[in-house]
Structure 1
Amino acid sequence: MRFTFNRDAMIKEISIAQEIITNKNAVSILSNILLIAENNSLTIKATDSTVKFTTLIPVDIQEEGRTTIYCDKFMSILSSLPSGDIEFIQEDIGVIIKPISKKVKFQLKSQASDKFPEIGSSENIPFFELPSKEFKEMIRETIFAVLTDDGKKYFMTGVYFVKEGDVLTMVATDGRRLSCDRKKGFSVPDFQPAIIPIKILSCVLKNAPDEGNIQIAVIEKSIFVKFGNIEFSSSLIEGSYPNYQKVIPENLTQSFQVNKADLDEALKRTTIMVDKKVSRIIFKISSGVLKLISPESDIGTADEEIPCRYNGQNISMALNVNYITEPLKVINSENVIFDFNINEAKGDEESNITKAVIMRSEPAGDYIHVIMPMSY
């Protein structure tokens, strides 16, 4: 096998392959990328056995062939070289990498391509199209809320993707908070509800363009995503996802509104004194004022008052600060609303709130974040 390629074009694709590969052991075939040179194109494939990546780039082929090479070292070689054309020559069990513009030569050992895991073709798979910007928005607004340990609730370590009529929904929960994005008006074929691993969603979020459409297929136990010259695929997470609709509270009668920038800045200051093991912050809301308090600890305390739109009896709630700051990053509105119900009196002035609080944009959009308050 022998071909010439553009260094910058190759680096772009190999950097995506590195996102997929997790095994850094040079002996493991899963640390390698598969290269197939034919028809003046180079197909590049990478996998960690669950998530699969395929791309195609134009190259000048002098001799067709296929092999696998250690991805991490190949990327290091490319990164050390200037822009321009580079020769790739396979000889026996190794390859030679030579830039046209420099008198330097790298020799890199290869492994036979027949040892590389099979990455099936997506031909004849029924894809549907979605606007890339909106699909990425759905990922961005949910992916951070998945369960981070796999324990006995492995099915909650992915994002739930479901179609109901013309509504597409993505949901993520760790059992203590829930992020949900519903988008209407999509005329796409029916598909079985899917629990998507976050690794493939992260790859799509990072690499898919904001403009144009993205192609998606959900079949049996797999998901496929295509855009440009890139294709990702992944096994789906098996299991029954919780009934997320039961977690979203209805008929919430109370709310307060606060400026997003004010809340964000106040949280950055008051959480300096928050105990990281607990991550608890107190919201005290009275007419026109939201007071944020970091509970007193061995190192001290902090509090700050910011204006809010509220006209009701004094209330207080304890919330995990991460469950506020993370959705704040994805809410695209000037103001943020917290919806809740009042539960029971606490003394003469303050009130507790009910089991769940909804955090959303103002005006209301497709996205909501449900938070379970903490005890204090």
Structure 2
Amino acid sequence: MKITIERAKLMKSLAHVQSVVERRTTIPILSNVKLDAMGGRLSLNATDMDLDIVETVDCEVITEGATTAPAHMLYDIVRKLPDGSQVELDNGANEELLTLRAGRSKFTLACLPTMDFPLMSGGELDHNFALPAGELKGIIDRTRFAISTEETRYYLNGIYVHAGENNGVPVLRSVATDGHRLASVEVPMPEGAADMPGVIVPRKTVAELRKLIDETNDDVSVSLSETKVRFAFGEVVLTSKLIDGTFPDYERVIPTGNDKMMELECKPFAAAVDRVSAISTEKSRAIKLSIGPGALVLSASSPDAGSATEEVEVSYDADEIEIGFNSKYLLDIAQQVEGETAQFMLSDGGSPTIVRDAADSSALYVLMPMRV
């Protein structure tokens, strides 16, 4: 294989694929990126056996062929080359070495055989549909903060995507929860998704996908089976294994009897929560909401630091309630509200609270209370 490629093009593609590669792995080939040059295009492929990315980029192919090279090292070298330089990659007669030339710089990297590189991106996936990139970004941004990081509850370590209904209208719903808060977002059912199985997309896949779709306005083609999902857009194909587990019946934790509604301006509220919580202890981050007609008093105290209170104007005309929350979880949810007004549906001080964006009924958040 021998190619010439602009540094900027190569660096952009390497930045995407190398982030999938684990820094520490016991299988040497998984530290490498597979480079495949054919017909004026260079294909870059990296995998960690659970997640696989292929990106294709234009280049000048002098000799067709394939090799594998250390992903992080290759990216570091290309990143440090001067802007505008032309990069030549050549593994010539010696397939165990890859030579990189740019201007007066020359690097020789050890290669591993392409036959050892695992193939994960092939295979047919039965269910296919498309989502606009903006819609997919919205789904990820409004749910991923609630993904659990607790490895023992591995079935909560991702976003549960499934076909659902809202007042008889079919929707594609995405749900994440860590047991303390829950986020549920729905979009109109895309054509081809109605009979898809419910799948749990892993946290790492969600993070990589979110980074990649930042750079596209194309529709994202989604293909899935019960064990794998593939996202394709632009020159990128991201394939991932799904979490093999059963997502809990989340609808049971969404309260139905919350009859007390509080409306407030979300940005001033979030700023007040942030200020008052500065004094709460790092471990519990507890903040108390004392809600009465027309006013909400936020308070926090710490045996070492002292106490803080702040009053926020609200629209509320039901019985007085005192309820405590983890301030970080409360802030995470407040930051998802894009409209000016947030609605809190409450029952009492010991029951879960529903939070909604008054301007957007497609998202629903549930927050568990805590003792304060």
Range class of TM-score, shorter chain: over 0.9
Aligned match for 2:203, one of 165, 190, 198:
198
The 8 Å contact of residues 49 and 120 in structure 2, kept in 1 or not, is answered as no
Aligned match for 2:317, one of 302, 311, 318:
311
Is 1:96 the equivalent of 2:99?
Answer: yes
Q: Deviations over 1:59-102 (max 9, x none)?
A: 11111111111111111111111223211111411111111xx2
Secondary structure of residue in 1 paired with 2:258:
coil
Shift of 1:26: 10
Give the counterpart letter for 1:286 in structure 2: G
Aligned match for 1:261, one of 249, 267, 272:
267
Shift of 1:126: 4.9
Secondary structure of residue in 2 paired with 1:20:
coil
- Residue number in structure 2 paired with 1:41: 41
Unaligned runs of 5+ residues in structure 1 are: 343-352
Shift of 1:354: 4.4
Is 1:241 the equivalent of 2:247?
Answer: yes
Shift of 1:319: 0.4
215 and 360 in structure 1: CA distance in 2 versus 1, 3 angstrom threshold: same
Secondary structure of residue in 1 paired with 2:105:
coil
Is 1:225 the equivalent of 2:231?
Answer: yes
The 8 Å contact of residues 270 and 335 in structure 2, kept in 1 or not, is answered as no
CA distance in 2, matches of 1:331, 1:312: 23
Shift of 1:186: 3.0
Give the counterpart letter for 2:225 in structure 1: I
Secondary structure of residue in 2 paired with 1:273:
coil
Q: How many residues align?
A: 363
CA distance in 2, matches of 1:222, 1:25: 22
1:249-288 to 2 correspondences below 5 Å: 249-288=255-294
- Residue number in structure 1 paired with 2:212: 207
Give the counterpart letter for 1:46 in structure 2: A
175 and 162 in structure 1: CA distance in 2 versus 1, 3 angstrom threshold: same
Secondary structure of residue in 2 paired with 1:140:
helix
CA distance in 2, matches of 1:306, 1:296: 21
1:86-125 to 2 correspondences below 5 Å: 86-91=87-92, 92=94, 93-99=96-102, 102-121=103-122
Give the counterpart letter for 1:174 in structure 2: D
Shift of 1:355: 1.4
The 8 Å contact of residues 216 and 226 in structure 1, kept in 2 or not, is answered as yes
1:118-133 to 2 correspondences below 5 Å: 118-121=119-122, 126-133=127-134
Give the counterpart letter for 1:193 in structure 2: G
- Residue number in structure 2 paired with 1:174: 178
Aligned match for 2:342, one of 327, 336, 347:
336
- Residue number in structure 1 paired with 2:16: 16
- Residue number in structure 2 paired with 1:346: none
- Residue number in structure 2 paired with 1:356: 352
CA distance in 2, matches of 1:15, 1:75: 7
Q: Deviations over 1:19-50 (max 9, x none)?
A: 21113469821111001111111111001110
Of stretches 251-260 and 218-227 in structure 1, the one that deviates more from structure 2 is 251-260
CA distance in 1, matches of 2:133, 2:354: 27
- Residue number in structure 2 paired with 1:78: 78
CA distance in 1, matches of 2:134, 2:147: 21
CA distance in 2, matches of 1:126, 1:310: 46
26 and 76 in structure 1: CA distance in 2 versus 1, 3 angstrom threshold: farther
98 and 123 in structure 1: CA distance in 2 versus 1, 3 angstrom threshold: farther
CA distance in 2, matches of 1:220, 1:286: 49
- Please give the root-mean-square deviation of Cα atoms over the aligned residues, in Å: 1.8
CA distance in 2, matches of 1:163, 1:218: 13
Of stretches 157-166 and 133-142 in structure 1, the one that deviates more from structure 2 is 157-166
CA distance in 2, matches of 1:59, 1:126: 33
Is 1:183 the equivalent of 2:187?
Answer: yes
Give the counterpart letter for 1:275 in structure 2: T
CA distance in 2, matches of 1:27, 1:221: 23
Unaligned runs of 5+ residues in structure 2 are: none
Is 1:157 the equivalent of 2:160?
Answer: no
Is 1:373 the equivalent of 2:355?
Answer: no
Is 1:30 the equivalent of 2:30?
Answer: yes
- Residue number in structure 2 paired with 1:146: 147
CA distance in 2, matches of 1:288, 1:195: 42
146 and 239 in structure 1: CA distance in 2 versus 1, 3 angstrom threshold: same
Q: Deviations over 1:227-265 (max 9, x none)?
A: 101010111101111111111111321011111111121
Give the counterpart letter for 2:301 in structure 1: P
CA distance in 1, matches of 2:49, 2:29: 10
160 and 126 in structure 1: CA distance in 2 versus 1, 3 angstrom threshold: closer
Shift of 1:196: 0.8
Secondary structure of residue in 2 paired with 1:171:
strand
Shift of 1:121: 2.1
Q: Deviations over 1:113-158 (max 9, x none)?
A: 112112332567653111111122111111111110111x211111
CA distance in 1, matches of 2:228, 2:235: 20
CA distance in 2, matches of 1:27, 1:157: 24
CA distance in 1, matches of 2:137, 2:306: 41
The 8 Å contact of residues 274 and 327 in structure 2, kept in 1 or not, is answered as no
